[in-house]
């Protein structure tokens, strides 16, 4: 079968190759890939800025149908429409694994970087990370389950939004757009912020239910948020841009005792006015990947 393979370490080194079809182990499911998304992580792997284990087939946001199941698999049958988590291998013994937080296991190897992924015809994963897809979810939408689960983990499981919260989403990329929709579902009043280059994405954010969108190159975000919140600031800021200017703005916009969640990755250390966290008694959090509960909820 054809596959997109990171062949060796270093910048680039990605090729389409002919690879053998994978065998299915006793506790594994072979999925025929029907749709797969390209993630920012794939770009980082291209530049060798994210852990990868070459030679490895890329692709970790995907869905498809079950082609074959291992001897011990009774949960799925051939033809089932499914998607898969990314935690392909975990140790199963550390405190994170035991408490269901295996996304943080130091032995974790991910689909599409640590082990073979989905930019190919068949992908084999352990049965524990396979989730059935409802019939009304098409394949392209199904491939979005992975980024959605990340957002469920970051927003619903770790940040927590209460009905009526003013939620600022900085950065209208895929994660920002999903975070905006989820914040609406959780009952927030959602303001999505971006730059002039993001105009189209801001229009999409509005279509997808954001209450307000702002081009911060044309409008003053601090003034607008102050006006909306009687001068207090946003209850929740979800920083999805992964650039330091976004994080700086986010800290400014968060009200005292508010919540700031770093959703985007900077890829390098940044300079920031960290003591704002003390002065404003902020609750600051981040998140990494997702776990079983994030998928079930998503």
Q: Cβ 125 to Zn ion, closest distance in Å?
A: 15
Q: Which is nearer to Zn ion, 150 or 234 (CB)?
A: 150
16, 91, 245, 270: residue in contact with Zn ion (rule CB under 5 A): 91
Q: Cβ 177 to Zn ion, closest distance in Å?
A: 14
Please state, in angstroms and rounded to a whole number, the distance separating the CA atoms of residues 138 and 121.
18
DSSP 115: B
265 binds Zn ion (CB under 5 A): no
Number of residues counted as binding Zn ion (CB under 5 A) = 7
Q: Which is nearer to Zn ion, 151 or 167 (CB)?
A: 151
Q: Cβ 112 to Zn ion, closest distance in Å?
A: 8
Dihedral Cα 148, 150, 155, 157, nearest 10 deg: 110
Q: Which is nearer to Zn ion, 114 or 258 (CB)?
A: 114
Between the alpha carbon of residue 71 and those of residues 50, 251, 267, the distances in Å are 34, 52, 42
Contacts of 70 (CB under 8 A, 6+ apart): 24, 25, 26, 27, 28, 29, 127
Task: Candidates 5-13, 91-99, 156-164, 270-278: pick the segment binding Zn ion (CB under 5 A).
Answer: 91-99
4, 57, 97, 237: residue in contact with Zn ion (rule CB under 5 A): 97
Residue 176 CA to its chain's centroid (Å): 10
Q: Which is nearer to Zn ion, 254 or 290 (CB)?
A: 290
Q: Cβ 77 to Zn ion, closest distance in Å?
A: 28
Task: Candidates 25-33, 63-71, 92-100, 178-186: pick the segment binding Zn ion (CB under 5 A).
Answer: 92-100
Task: Candidates 68-76, 82-90, 192-200, 290-298: pick the segment binding Zn ion (CB under 5 A).
Answer: 82-90
105 binds Zn ion (CB under 5 A): yes
H or E segment to which residue 261 belongs? strand 254-262
Task: Candidates 97-105, 114-122, 166-174, 239-247: pick the segment binding Zn ion (CB under 5 A).
Answer: 97-105
DSSP 157: I
H or E segment to which residue 278 belongs? helix 276-279
94 binds Zn ion (CB under 5 A): yes
Q: Cβ 19 to Zn ion, closest distance in Å?
A: 22
Name which of residues 194 to 253 contact Zn ion (CB under 5 A).
Answer: none
Q: Which is nearer to Zn ion, 61 or 235 (CB)?
A: 61
Q: Which is nearer to Zn ion, 97 or 249 (CB)?
A: 97
Structure tokens belonging to residue 224: 């607008």
Please state, in angstroms and rounded to a whole number, the distance separating the CA atoms of residues 160 and 261.
10
Structure tokens belonging to residue 71: 């001897």
Between the alpha carbon of residue 228 and those of residues 55, 64, 101, 222, 223, the distances in Å are 52, 44, 37, 10, 9
Q: Cβ 119 to Zn ion, closest distance in Å?
A: 12
Q: Residues 20-59: x/- map of binding to Zn ion (CB under 5 A)?
A: -------------------x-x------------------
Paired with 37 in beta bridges are 61
DSSP 294: H
Contact, 258 vs 237, CB < 8 A? Answer: yes
Paired with 64 in beta bridges are 33, 82
What is the binding site for Zn ion (CB under 5 A)? 39, 41, 90-91, 94, 97, 105
């Amino acid at each position: 079968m054809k596959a997109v393979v990171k062949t060796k370490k270093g910048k680039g080194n990605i090729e389409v190759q002919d690879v053998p079809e994978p065998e299915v182990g006793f506790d594994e499911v072979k999925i025929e890939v029907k749709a797969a998304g390209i993630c920012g992580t794939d770009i980082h792997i291209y530049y060798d800025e994210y852990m990868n284990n070459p030679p490895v087939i890329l692709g970790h946001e995907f869905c498809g149908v079950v082609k074959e199941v291992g001897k011990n698999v009774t949960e799925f049958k051939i033809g089932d429409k499914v998607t898969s988590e990314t935690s392909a291998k975990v140790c199963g013994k550390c405190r994170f694994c035991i408490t269901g937080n295996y996304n943080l296991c130091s032995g974790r190897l991910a689909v599409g970087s640590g082990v073979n992924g989905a930019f190919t015809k068949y992908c084999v994963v352990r049965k524990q990370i396979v989730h059935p897809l409802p019939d009304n979810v098409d394949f392209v939408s199904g491939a979005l389950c992975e980024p959605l689960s990340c957002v469920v983990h970051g927003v619903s499981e770790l940040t927590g939004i209460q009905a009526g919260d003013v939620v600022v989403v900085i950065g209208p990329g895929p994660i920002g757009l999903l975070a905006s929709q989820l914040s609406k579902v959780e009952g927030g009043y959602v303001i999505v912020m971006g730059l002039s280059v993001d105009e189209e994405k801001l229009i999409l954010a509005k279509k997808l239910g954001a209450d307000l969108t702002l081009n911060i190159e044309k409008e003053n975000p601090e003034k607008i948020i102050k006006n909306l919140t009687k001068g207090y600031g946003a209850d929740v800021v979800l920083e999805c841009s992964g650039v330091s200017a976004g994080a700086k703005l986010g800290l400014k916009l968060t009200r005292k005792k508010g919540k700031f969640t770093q959703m985007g990755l900077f890829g390098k250390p940044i300079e920031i006015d960290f003591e704002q966290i003390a002065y404003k008694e902020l609750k600051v959090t981040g998140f990494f990947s997702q776990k079983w509960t994030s998928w079930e909820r998503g």
